Structure 1
């Protein structure tokens, strides 16, 4: 996501941050799914009505058959918090060797989402 011109009184980076902080989960998810398809994840699963599914299961399961990769990702807004059930699922999946984690809108800006879709490790710059 890019902001073509700075928000008044902000630099371009600050403007992007304002937009990403305000991003709701649905537009964020739509963007992630488009990026995933672009990077070869031809299969994606998302429970449309989480009230009828097991509590805490990650929002997305992305499958790239060509690369033999599966990603489990919980999507959260910039201020969203993980529930205990979500933490349990993510910890359980990673303990079994699965690639599971959390993405937030800011991860689009930092490049983390794309790096992880490409199978690259991501180190947050400090």
Structure 2
């Protein structure tokens, strides 16, 4: 699955599962490198998710891992999602309840 359709589907699922706000930087050229692809906010469920989206074989960069590690150390819900996670149901499960274990 290509990254754009994968991202579109994840955003649709997030909104369906009660995340009122979903942020994605469309042009990151002038932004700090490595910030996660999506920030999803549910005020109803009092949750914020930070997720990096990767293709099946895509690798997390050092800058991306630094952001994920720092956010996790600050108590945030972070993770990496791949198309296989969509097929396995992991993404929907985490949107509903949160991760069962560390995601990266």
TM-score range, shorter chain: over 0.9
For structure 1, the residue ranges without an aligned partner over 5 or more in a row are 1-22
Q: Secondary structure at the match of 2:52?
A: strand
Taking structure 2 as the reference length, what is the TM-score of the superposition?
0.93
Q: How does 1:103-122 map to 2 (within 5 A)?
A: 103-122=81-100
Given that residues 112 and 122 in structure 1 are in contact (C-alpha distance below 8 angstroms), is that contact kept between their aligned partners in structure 2?
no
**How many Å separate the matches in 2 of 1:62 and 1:120?**
12
Moved runs in structure 1, 4+ residues, more than 3 A? Answer: 120-123
Q: Secondary structure at the match of 2:79?
A: strand
**RMSD over aligned Cα atoms:** 1.1
Q: Which residue of 1 aligns with 2:29?
A: 51
Q: Which residue of 1 aligns with 2:53?
A: 75
2:7 to 20, 29, 33: 29
Given that residues 78 and 106 in structure 1 are in contact (C-alpha distance below 8 angstroms), is that contact kept between their aligned partners in structure 2?
yes
Deviation for aligned residue 1:50: 1.4
User: Which of structures 1 and 2 has the bigger CA Rg?
Assistant: 1
